[in-house]
Amino acid sequence: MKLRNLSPLSLAIFAALTTSVNAEETKTTAKQDAFEKIEVTARKRTESLFESPTAITSIGANLIDKANMSNLEDIGKYVPNLNITRYGVGNSAHASVFIRGIGLQDHVITTDPGVGVYLDGVYLGRQMGSNLSLPNVERVEVLRGPQGTLYGRNTLGGAVNVITKQPGDEGILTTTAKVGSRGRIAGDIYFNNALTDDLSMSASASYKQRDGVGTAVNLANPEKEIGEEQEFSGRVAFKYQATSDLAFTFSLDGVDNESGQSPYTIELTAPLDPNDENNGDFPLLTPDLIPVNPDDLGTTVAGIESTSYSGWGTSFAADWAINDTYSSKFISSYRTSEYEGGLDDDASALNLSEFPEQGGADQYSFEVQLNATYDNMDFVSGLYFFNEDGFTRSEDFVFSPYNTPDSFGFFEINQETNSYAAYFNASYDLTDDLSVGGGLRYSKDKKEANAIFPSFAERKYVSADFDAVTWDINASYQLSNNMNVYGQVQKGYQTGGFPPRPFGGPDQFSSFDETKAINYEIGLKGQVHENVSMMLAVFVTDYTDLALPFSDPTSGGGFVTIVENAGQSKAQGIELETTVAITDDFTIRSAVGYLDSEISEVAAGVQGIGKGDSPALTPRWTVMIAPSYFMDLNNGGTLAFNANYSYRSEMQGQSVFNYSETIDSRELVGFNISYTNPYGDMEVTLYGENVLNEVYDVGRLQQTGFVGVMRSNDRSEFGLKFKKDFEL
């Protein structure tokens, strides 16, 4: 029987019925050392998590598995002051990442995220496609606060690094199968082995599907259920060790997602008054036309209930240890993606406001680094180039207050971006206990865009240049062998751009300025007791020319999206992460974030926002608690009990015109009960996700006469997971 001819589920069954080779040699303990030394590469150098002078959370593969994290959105439930949500045309591949009150909810090609997402060091330029699935990921690192020196543009709130398992000498084949309620079926395969003395390979393939939570009730033969999931993804990587000092790594990954629209409904703003410019754009719309079940969709537009996303990417990296002091690294990447989606804004059988949408983007980037490590000093330096060319298009969209047949339209936006940067970052040990560091980066962005909308007489072409010098300084002091205190000041930069939906006319399609931020932070990290580790950060961040995209219900249609540099805002807060070993077998991991963020000054002419208003999608409190208990059995096996709790307090759906946009707080609870056999190469798990079936809003946008509400899709789910390792 050839393994390559088997499906993921068949491989899992084959694994269950086959005795692995050298099982005794692969035996591992199920107990985890809660205080193992964690190394991170978030600052483009390998260093201890506790010694890095910045706020970083590292989530390893074990926690990803035990907390049932399946995509990037799930990561947002377990990191302080991190909130990952989605809205973009109902497509589940979309991820809006907010850190410390900074992020972006939109997805159109002219919008840039406020938090950078990276895959093995490669920047992902689009929010659409950033909700990465997480099979066979080594760890996810979340950096909080502006990362203007090492990461540059569009990391104003922070950066998220997804780091995959790299090719190595270990010969292993891992198969995983998952079956659960709501029609859940999933399977993963991971392979890693040395092909020759110098060449190693890793490969993974993943499939997942789940039934939906609602129905398009007015479609005779809907293509998908609302909230349905179906995705294939895969990755292959090769590492060639040309010499002891020179290594080349090549990777290729791809994804194909065909899912149902995310659950979406509307809430009418009462009283409905067609004579009020802020209320009643659709006088034909009445509450009885909205489906009683808010997970159902009342549209009559075939195809809008389904979404798709596909993409692939390749990267090439060369690592050269020039000598004992200097090293160099080169990273190049090409990625392409496309999607389809859409929203029936009125969510009813009336053809009042439907926006089917397509989009795509191609990007390539190059980065070359020269790094050095001396006895008392190290530095990282580099040159960077990024190009992106993409589009957003809607054919035959409908905006018809009175359900008239001549209201079909077309719009399209195209944009090309070229970004250049040079950076230098260094750290110097003044004594054995005291280190100081700093960095400097110059970034320049050139954007060219064109658009055509029904209100345009002809296609409009625009261009704009943006640049910034960003920097950081830091100092850290080792209080003892296990504790470090640090302080830092960082300056960050988010590029300016063009508004995504200038339906009001060509004058609206003009550039807005970049946003800049300075962050002041002190922190304490380390093992405060032999049974307690802690990471504490206290910060204040000032933002200037804060760019706020919002749906403007006063501009002749709620679908008009304006971007304004609203003035200044300020965020201040505390983040505390702890791991406590109650006993050798019982540990509790927790994370608490508190954030006080508000608009501190409002620029002249800005409407719909006032001093003291809160930025969008920014909960004041974020809490995570994850206890783990292990029990050794007489046969040599292990039982592991893991639970997880996640809380996000209420927040605003958008920063301006937020008449009815408060998103209520939510609490999520999950568990894993796992049995690992005596050899440590097989695991069976009973799992539960969102066991209380908490249904919550993930986005609320004020429209004209109603509020568009995107609802959660991570409903209660219970099932079994099976994992088997084979030594090759």
Q: Cα Rg for the chain, rounded, in angstroms?
A: 25
Question: Minimal CA–CA distance to 444: which of 469, 415, 481, 419?
Answer: 419
Q: What six digits make up the tokens of 615?
A: 């930025």
Nearby residues of 497 by Cβ (< 8 Å), 6 or more positions away: 110, 111, 112, 447, 464, 511, 512, 547, 563
Which residues have a Cβ under 8 Å from the Cβ of 297 and sit 6 or more positions away?
214, 215, 216, 217, 226, 261, 264, 265, 291, 305, 344, 347
Structure token pair of residue 81: 């002051």
Sorted by where each begins, the domain ranges of the chain are 25-727
**53, HSE (Cβ side, Cα atoms, 13 Å):** 27
* 261: Cα separation from own chain's centroid: 19
Spatial distance between the Cα atoms of 644 and 34, rounded to a whole number of angstroms: 16
The one-letter amino acid code at 77 reads K
**Residue-level pLDDT at 718:** 98
Helical spans, DSSP H, in 102-166: none
Whether the Cβ atoms of residue 638 and residue 31 lie closer than 8 Å to each other: yes
DSSP state for residue 707 in the 8-state scheme: E
Q: Is 90 helix (H, G, I), strand (E, B) or coil?
A: helix
Phi, psi (degrees; rounded to nearest 5) at 506: -65, -25
d(CA 282, CA 347): 12
Nearest C-alpha neighbor of 107 from the set 587, 717, 561: 561
**Whole-angstrom Cα distance, residue 435 to residue 420?**
30
Pairing of strands 115-119, 158-164: parallel
Estimate to the nearest angstrom the gap between the alpha carbon of 521 and the chain centroid: 24
> Hey, CA dihedral for 270, 276, 281, 286, is it positive or negative?
positive
- Cα angle 2, 7, 11 (rounded to 5 degrees) comes to 65
* Furthest CA-CA distance within the chain: 79
Q: Based on DSSP, count helices (H) and strands (E) in the chain, helices before strands.
A: 3, 38
Query: C-alpha 12: how far from its chain's center?
Result: 29
Q: Which residue is associated with the tokens 């010499």?
A: 243
Please list, in sequence order, all residues whose beta carbon lies within 8 angstroms of the beta carbon of residue 63, skipping any fewer than 6 positions away: 69, 78, 589, 626
Residue type, 629: Y
Give the whole-angstrom CA distance, residue 698 versus residue 637.
41
DSSP state of 658: -
Instruction: Using a cut of 0.85, tell me whether the model's pTM lies above it.
Output: yes
Consecutive 10-residue averages of pLDDT for the chain (728 residues): 38 36 36 62 82 91 89 91 87 90 88 91 90 88 92 90 91 96 96 95 96 95 95 96 96 96 86 55 80 94 93 96 96 96 89 90 97 94 97 87 71 96 96 95 96 93 95 93 92 91 88 91 92 95 79 53 74 96 93 91 69 82 96 94 96 72 93 96 97 94 81 96 95
Given a contact cutoff of 8 angstroms between Cβ atoms, the answer to whether 167 and 124 are in contact is no
Q: How far is CA 34 from CA 419, 424, 527, 629, 687, in A?
A: 42, 35, 11, 12, 22
Q: What H or E segment, with its residue span, contains residue 414?
A: strand 408-429
94 CB-near residues (< 8 Å, 6+ apart): 86, 87, 88, 107, 127, 128, 129, 130, 131
Residues 240, 203 contacting (CB under 8 angstroms): no
pLDDT (tens digit, 9 = 90+) per residue, 477-500? 999 778 999 999 999 989 999 988
In angstroms, the CA 278 to CA 553 distance is 6
Show the CA angle centred on residue 74, arms to residues 71 and 75, nearest 5°.
95
Report the C-alpha gap between 720 and 638 in whole angstroms. Answer: 17
**C-alpha dihedral sign at 74, 78, 84, 86:** positive
Give the count of beta carbons closer than 10 Å to the beta carbon of residue 203: 18
Whole-number Cα distances in Å, 90 to 155, 319, 403? 25, 41, 23
Q: To which residue do tokens 């609206």 refer?
A: 508
SS3 annotation, 511-555: CECCEEEEEEEEEEEEEEECCEEEEEEEEEEEEECCEEEEECCCC
DSSP state of 65: H
Q: Which two tokens stand for residue 720?
A: 């079994």
Q: What angle do CA 506, 510, 514 make, to 5 degrees?
A: 160
CA distance 88 to 90: 5
For residue 150, the cross-strand partners are none
- The predicted pLDDT at position 552 comes to 57
Residues in the chain, how many? Answer: 728
CB 91 within 8 A of CB 309: yes
Residue 629 tokens, joined: 């208990």
- Four-CA torsion 28, 32, 38, 41, nearest 10 degrees: 60
Closest CA to 320 of 367, 369, 365, 366: 369
Helix %, strand %, coil % of the chain (to 5): 5, 55, 40
With helix as H, strand as E and coil as C, how does 8-44 read?
Answer: HHHHHHHHHHCCCCCHHHHCCCCCCCCCCCCEECCCC
Q: Of the candidates 82, 57, 74, which has an alpha carbon nearest to the alpha carbon of residue 651?
A: 82
Residue found by looking up tokens 């946003």 in the block? 515
Q: State both tokens at 60.
A: 């390893």
Return the structure tokens found at 21.
């080779």
Say if domain 25-727 classifies as CATH 2.40.170.20.
yes
